Structure formats: C-alpha cells, structure tokens
Amino acid sequence: MAGGKETPRQKMIGMMYLVLTALLALNVSSAILLKFQFLDESLQSVNRKTVSDNAGVVSNIQAAIAENKNPSANDQRVLKNAQEVRQRTSEMVTYIQGLRNMLIEKSGGKTAEGGYAQPEGNDIVAMNMIGAASKNNGAAYELKDKLNEFAKFLNQHNESVPDKLALDGSEDPVAKNDPAQRRKDFAQLNFEETPMVAALAVLSQKEAEVLKYEADVLQKLAQQVGADIIKFEKIFAMARAESKTVAAGTKYTADMFIAASSDNITPKMTFQGKPVKVENGLGKVEFVASASNYDADGNSKQTWKGQVTINQNGRDTTFTVTEEYIVAKPVIQVQSASVQALYFQCANELNIQVPALGAVYDPSFSASGGTAVKGAKKGEVTIIPNATEVTINVSSGGNSIGSEKFKVRPIPKPELVALVNGRPIDVKRGVPAQSFRAVEIQAVADEGFKQLLPNEARYRVTKWRAYLVRNNQPVEQGEFNGPTANLTSFAAKANKGDRVVIEILDVKRLNYKGQAVDVNVGTPNFNVPLN
C-alpha cells in the first residue's frame, strides 16, 4: 500500500494483509478457517470506522467553506471534488459488500452461532468469482475493472494513489517471485482454491485499500480549504520550572501544562538556525552552556531561542520558543596533600574536580610553567613544574572551565649524617681511634617533603672522600662510591689526637620516574677528632 505517512490504523491494515497472505499459503484446517473469519471481522470493523472518519472530513470541508463569508470558486470546486470522491467510494464499497453477501448466501448463509454454513466452500468461490473453466466470466473480473477504474479516478486528485488496485500475478510484488503464481490473473490469484471465509477476507482487504486511498485524497482536498484536522496521538503532561535549583526556605515555582504530538505531522525544528533532531515529536536541544559575566553569586542569566515549523493547511506556520536558563560559574576544587605550593621538578599529584558539572565532567588539563599528565581516574593529574609559578588550565569535554595558579617551591636540601659503627658521630667528643671502622654517610630528606611526596624524597650519597690527618698532614686517604665504606686501614694507622676529615662529593635523588638526579648540597664536610 503506497501513499503518504500512514496512520496507526492503516499500518494495522497492512499487517493484516500480510497475515492474510500467509494464511492463504497454508493448508486449510478448521483452525485456519477460524483465523480467516477473525481476520475478516477485524478488517470489517476497521473499515466501518474509516467510512465514518472519511465522511467526517467531507463535513469538515463543507463547514470550513461555510465559515468563509466569501468562498472562492476554488473552494466550491474542492467541495464538489470531495463529495464526488465520497460518492464514488461509497459505490465501490457497496459493490464489494454485494459480492460478500452473494458468497455468504450461496454457501448457505450464517449459522445461529455466528459462523458460516460452509466456511470452506472452495467450489462456490471458484464458480462465482472466477467462472466456468476457460471462460473467465466470474465476478472477480468485473471487480478488477472497477477497482482499477476507481484507482485512476482517485489518482486525478492525488498522484500518490497507484494506477491499479487489482494486480495480476506478474504485477503483484509477492506473487511475481513465485513461478506458479505469477502466471495467474487477478481473479485466479485471489480466489482460486480459496475457502469462502478467506475470499471474504480478501474482499475486506480490497475494501480497506479503497477507503485508505479515499482518506488520502480527502485529506489533501481538506488542506486546500483549511479543513484538515490534526489528530494528536500522544498527549502528555509537562512542567516547566523557573529554576531547578531552589535554596531551602525559598519558593519553588513551575508551570504545569498539557502537550501533544501527532504521528501525521513531522515538525521541523531549528536552534540558532541549525536543524534539531526530532524524536516522537520532541526536539532535542543540546549545547554547551557558557557565559562571560557572572553576578556576585556566580550566576549568569541567559536565554536561547528555537523555532518549530509545522505545515497547516498547506502553509508553513512557525512558532518561536524562548527559554531562560542560568549558567552557574563552575568552582574548581583542588584536592592534594598540599595545594599552597608545588615542588619544582617533582611529580605533584592533584585531584581536580568541578562539582557543578556532575556526571558530565570529562576533564583534560594543560599547564603553563610545567607539564600536566592526566591520571587514571577522573580528575587526577600530575603536575611537574619547571618554573617558579604554574598555571593549570582545566577543560571538560573540550570546553574551557577555568584555571588555577600555584607557586612553586624549591626542593629542600637533605640533611647529611655520618655514622660510625651504626651510631651518629659526635664531632665534639670524637671517636676512639681504634674503633673508627664501619662508616656510613646518609642523606636524610626533609620530613615535611617526605610526607608530601614520598616518591620524590629518596636520597643517596654516591661519592665521598675521607682523610686521616695528623698535625695537619694527611696520613691516609680514600675515595668511596656509595654511602658505606670500611675504614679499617685508617684505624690501623690512627693515633690519639689524629682526626678524620670527610668530604661529600656527590648526592643523588631518585625521582618519581626512578631516575637519579643530581642534588646540589654544596661542599659539606665532617671533621671527626679521634681519641
């Protein structure tokens, strides 16, 4: 069934036609005969409702013209055409109903229970609808001519109506693919070896097509005089609040109203001149909210405008929608062990959130004066500063949110501690000369720095030198790689009153990447008296 956008009722008729076609291909049984009867009765019920609706359209055309104090010649022509379409359709339906009554009567009529005396009646259908063998003089041939004449008549008023409503097997989109069916003419295709109740269903389906195309023509004629009726299949309640955010103790205000949409109308909607996707009559307006000026509370009142265009009576009518909304300035929250300042060339881990964005928060970060590395979880970012100040720029979904500035502090130098035999050296009291053996030089991180960035606070003394000095002259010396050394040779030569001078040559720090970086500790030394 061709034509414009179909109503739910027309779609249901199309589905029934598919069911009818499938049933005709099955072997006949009592259960299938009952299904044919049910299908026929359903189609008849729908057809009666369509007849009523189509008659109502003609009445609406007449009423619309009557309301016009000066109807034009075109208006009168439209009314005449509508009445003629209604008359020709009524004659076509009456003819089809006559064929139905003839088949019911010749098969014995109806039973007291509401069924048929001979629901199968294949021979009765063949003799009356196809005719005697090779004569092709049955009623179906006259039906074919009338249906196709009716189609040509309607096509004059609506080009979407097909030229034929009664098709031979070679023309039928389904039958032409079947070698056995495509050789048949219209009468044979629809009524050969067909039970009586199935023949009734076929006639009901043809009647439904007649009424469907009549409805299409009448609707087009009605549009020409403003008598077409928009039927709203979807009616729903809606509410529009002044604000979806309300502080405790203040009033919540909203408008509640009924809205509706029609399957027969596809509105065109635009926003800022661009088309809007329409689903089930509702346009989806989406855009990224932005503002440049905010009030003292961090809010900015904005408006957007859209257009909804529908075709009424052959003319486009456009409605403008203006909606206010409030853009709240997003607040950037930075969570970290220390947010007052960052450490130079260290991996400072931050958690940056924008609560106002909720679930749509999709952050990305960049930094001026440093490098930003996005973390595994939403909002996590590692900042490695390379200047005295870092500006972190925050975006969400590609849209800028704002920026935060941080001062950068230098890494505190570690404290150098010398131990002999596992105990810290007392440079005032000294160390017994004979026990000056196992020496370790430690670089101890600043406690505050270590707590904030433990992965950055890993130090190691990698090179140092020791001198055994007597009367300001070196007696023994050695250079050592690593924090520990065995100075047994010093102890063997040491006398009371000598001293050991230790110079720190190199200290390394293991950063977050596991790389060893130089630490500038100057030229510290330890002067240890021996006693």
User: What does the pLDDT look like over 293-330, one tens digit per residue?
Assistant: 878 767 788 888 888 888 755 567 788 888 887 777 77
In a domain, 477, yes or no: yes
Query: Which helix (H) or strand (E) element contains residue 279?
Result: strand 278-279
In a domain, 23, yes or no: yes
- Tell me whether strands 278-279 and 234-241 are parallel, antiparallel or unpaired: unpaired
Domain identity same for 259 and 371: no
Give the pLDDT band (50/70/90) at residue 27.
very low
Name the token pair of 158: 């609506």
Q: What is the pLDDT of residues 103-155, one digit of tens each?
A: 999 999 998 888 888 888 888 988 999 987 767 789 999 999 999 999 999 99
Q: Is 166 exposed, middle or buried (0-12, 13-18, 19+ CB in 10 A)?
A: buried
Which of 348, 377, 409 is the last residue before a domain boundary? 409
Domain identity same for 211 and 319: no
Which of 328, 352, 372 is the last residue before a domain boundary? 328
Where would I find the beta strands (DSSP E) of 386-437? 389-396, 399-409, 415-420, 423-424
User: Mapping DSSP to helix (H, G, I), strand (E, B) and coil, where does residue 485 land?
Assistant: strand
Q: Which of 292-301, 397-406, 461-470 has the highest average model confidence (pLDDT)?
A: 461-470
Domain identity same for 197 and 71: yes
Q: Which residue segment(s) compose the domain that 257 sits in?
A: 234-328
Of 100-114, 165-179, 257-271, 500-514, the poorest mean pLDDT is in: 257-271
- Tell me whether strands 516-518 and 254-261 are parallel, antiparallel or unpaired: unpaired
Helix 8-24 and helix 30-67: axis angle, to 10°?
150
Domain identity same for 282 and 302: yes
Give the pLDDT band (50/70/90) at residue 2.
very low
Mean pLDDT of all residues in 405-431: 91
Q: What is the pLDDT of residues 434-452, one digit of tens each?
A: 888 899 999 999 999 999 8
Domain identity same for 265 and 355: no
Domain identity same for 245 and 219: no
Domain identity same for 32 and 94: yes
| Rg of the Cα atoms in the chain | 47
Domain identity same for 63 and 137: yes
In a domain, 250, yes or no: yes
Give the pLDDT band (50/70/90) at residue 3.
very low
CA distances from 485 to 426, 438, 441 (A): 18, 6, 9
Q: Is the pLDDT of residue 419 over 80?
A: yes
The whole-number pLDDT of residue 14 equals 61
Domain identity same for 35 and 133: yes
Q: Is the pLDDT of residue 177 over 70?
A: yes
Of 1-15, 196-210, 474-488, 501-515, the poorest mean pLDDT is in: 1-15
CA 175 centroid distance within chain: 42
Map tokens 């590692």 to a residue.
382
Domain count, the chain: 4
Q: What is the pLDDT of residues 181-215, one digit of tens each?
A: 889 999 998 988 888 988 898 999 999 999 999 99
Q: What is the CATH number of the domain that holds 515?
A: 2.60.40
Domain identity same for 85 and 119: yes
The whole-number pLDDT of residue 8 equals 60
In a domain, 100, yes or no: yes
In a domain, 1, yes or no: no
Would the pTM of this model clear 0.85, i.e. be above it? no
Domain identity same for 72 and 217: yes
Domain identity same for 238 and 150: no
Q: What is the CATH number of the domain that holds 361?
A: 2.60.40.10
The whole-number pLDDT of residue 69 equals 65
In a domain, 2, yes or no: no
In a domain, 20, yes or no: yes
Name the token pair of 120: 């199968």
The CA distance from 188 to 93, in Å, is 22
Give the pLDDT band (50/70/90) at residue 4.
very low
Which of 409, 428, 455 is the last residue before a domain boundary? 409
- Strand order across the 370-374 sheet: 333-335, 348-353, 380-385, 370-374
Residue 192: name the closest of 152, 236, 133 by CA.
133
